[in-house]
């Protein structure tokens, strides 16, 4: 792994990418024109009588903050999955965790007993754990020499099954069908302070665990035998990493629906920029993932303004060609 210091220019570029994306997402494509002057006024001289300040306070700011943390969560989760499985195609969406969380959330929406009485983050976590465990078991992840392609195929199969169950639940949802379909596409349109307060506590726990296991994943990259000889508890590493991935992913799915490909795309870009040392890679993924969602959210409003395209559609359009490229390169 590369352990050399990352040039300051790279970090400044990542921060600039995030800040510019955030500003564009905050101020662009609004029915009421928003300017930098309005933003400065909102931050330092809030006027409750100003419609622009109210839009920023009640709609744009919570939406942006939620989007940033969702992007960071999914990117970190993807990096953890790739480090744990040593599979460049691994991500929460490819390995079925997104599909499981979304399926259980949809079942909760139609009033399935027990699920409908449990907090949404818990429901999504249960779904993510169940689907992730199925994929890893069927894909031979716990065998001595897991095959990367088998794991991906298992993820595709389980995701297809869960997607079918989810669609059936949408049909049964009746009057709630439209909102469920919009949510399943991965949308930030309903983000508010309530969703933000549901999101950040779980995310902090997930990020804390992620940074804790970073040193273990660095050792695991050397191979199971070498890592074990250096004193690494592989079982504990797998357990803690999976807990972090489920927390980071489930919290996002619970509030915004399944937003795919961020967890696969961003870690590859981050590795090119900062190397494979997880202590450095995870913060870089967080910045890149947050910025990607900010830019994608702005683009989702621009495509059919004043209507909105779900941000999950934008990330899929970006991520699908990249996934195909990785799959073809892996076979060559």
pLDDT tens, residue by residue, 39-64 = 999 999 999 899 999 999 999 999 99
Q: Rounded to two decimals, what is the model's pTM?
A: 0.90
Q: What is the pLDDT of residue 212?
A: 96
Where residue 290 falls among pLDDT bands split at 50, 70, 90?
very high
**Rounded CA separation 11/108 (Å):** 42
Q: What is the pLDDT of residue 319?
A: 83
Tokens of 275: 């190397």
Cβ–Cβ < 8 Å for 199, 255:
yes
| Domains of the chain with CATH codes | 78-331 (1.10.3470.10)
Q: What is the pLDDT of residue 273?
A: 92
Q: Tell me which of 34-38, 242-246, 295-299, 326-330 is least confident.
A: 326-330
Where does residue 133 rank: exposed (0-12), middle (13-18), buried (19+ CB within 10 A)? middle
Q: What is the pLDDT of residue 73?
A: 96
Where residue 68 falls among pLDDT bands split at 50, 70, 90?
very high
Query: By percentage, how much of the chain surpasses pLDDT 70?
Result: 93
Q: What is the average per-residue pLDDT within 152-171?
A: 85
Does 6 have pLDDT greater than 80? Answer: no
Q: What is the pLDDT of residue 70?
A: 96
Does 223 have pLDDT greater than 90? Answer: no
Cβ–Cβ < 8 Å for 277, 3:
yes
Does 175 have pLDDT greater than 70? Answer: no
Give the chain's largest Cα–Cα span. 66
Q: What is the pLDDT of residue 185?
A: 81
Q: State how far the alpha carbon of 33 is from the alpha carbons of 29, 51, 99, 171, 305, in Å.
A: 8, 10, 37, 39, 13
Does 197 have pLDDT greater than 70? Answer: yes
Q: What is the pLDDT of residue 4?
A: 54
Does 2 have pLDDT greater than 60? Answer: no
Q: What is the pLDDT of residue 322?
A: 81
Does 327 have pLDDT greater than 70? Answer: no
Q: What is the average per-residue pLDDT within 3-19?
A: 86
Q: Closest by alpha carbon to 92, among 279, 252, 237? A: 252
Q: What is the pLDDT of residue 3?
A: 47
Q: What is the average per-residue pLDDT within 145-172?
A: 81
Rg value, the chain, Cα? 20
- Which tens digits make up the pLDDT trace of 110-155? 777 777 778 888 888 888 888 988 888 888 777 766 666 777 788 8
Alpha helices in the chain (DSSP H): 8-27, 36-44, 51-55, 61-85, 97-109, 120-138, 148-173, 177-184, 193-220, 224-229, 234-256, 262-274, 278-302, 311-331
Q: Closest by alpha carbon to 267, among 217, 228, 233? A: 217
């Amino acid at each position: 792994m590369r352990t050399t210091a990352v040039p300051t220019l790279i970090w400044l570029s990542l921060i600039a990418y995030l800040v510019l994306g955030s500003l564009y997402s905050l101020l662009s494509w609004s029915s009421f024109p928003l300017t930098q002057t309005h933003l400065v006024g909102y931050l330092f001289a809030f006027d409750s009588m100003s419609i622009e300040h109210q839009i920023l306070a009640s709609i744009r700011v919570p939406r942006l903050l939620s989007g940033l943390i969702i992007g960071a969560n999914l990117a970190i989760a993807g990096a953890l999955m790739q480090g744990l499985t040593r599979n460049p195609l691994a991500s929460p969406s490819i390995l079925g965790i997104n599909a499981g969380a979304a399926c259980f959330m949809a079942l909760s929406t139609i009033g399935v007993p027990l699920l409908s009485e449990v907090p949404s983050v818990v429901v999504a976590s249960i779904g993510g754990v169940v689907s992730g465990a199925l994929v890893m078991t069927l894909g031979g992840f716990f065998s001595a020499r897991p095959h990367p392609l088998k794991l991906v195929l298992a993820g595709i199969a389980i995701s297809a099954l869960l997607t079918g169950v989810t669609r059936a639940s949408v049909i049964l949802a009746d009057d709630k069908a439209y909102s469920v379909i919009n949510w399943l596409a991965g949308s930030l349109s309903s983000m508010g302070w309530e969703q933000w307060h549901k999101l950040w506590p779980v995310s902090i726990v997930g990020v804390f665990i992620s940074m804790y296991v970073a040193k273990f994943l660095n050792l695991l990259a050397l191979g199971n035998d070498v890592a074990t000889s250096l004193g690494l508890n592989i079982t504990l590493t797998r357990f803690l990493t999976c807990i972090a991935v489920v927390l980071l992913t489930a919290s996002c799915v619970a509030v915004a629906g399944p937003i795919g490909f961020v967890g696969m795309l961003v870690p590859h870009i981050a590795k090119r920029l900062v190397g494979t040392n997880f202590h450095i890679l995870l913060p870089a993924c967080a910045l890149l993932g947050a910025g990607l969602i900010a830019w994608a959210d702005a683009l989702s409003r621009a495509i059919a303004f004043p209507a909105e395209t779900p941000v999950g559609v934008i990330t899929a359009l970006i991520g699908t060609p990249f996934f195909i490229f990785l799959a073809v390169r892996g076979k060559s």
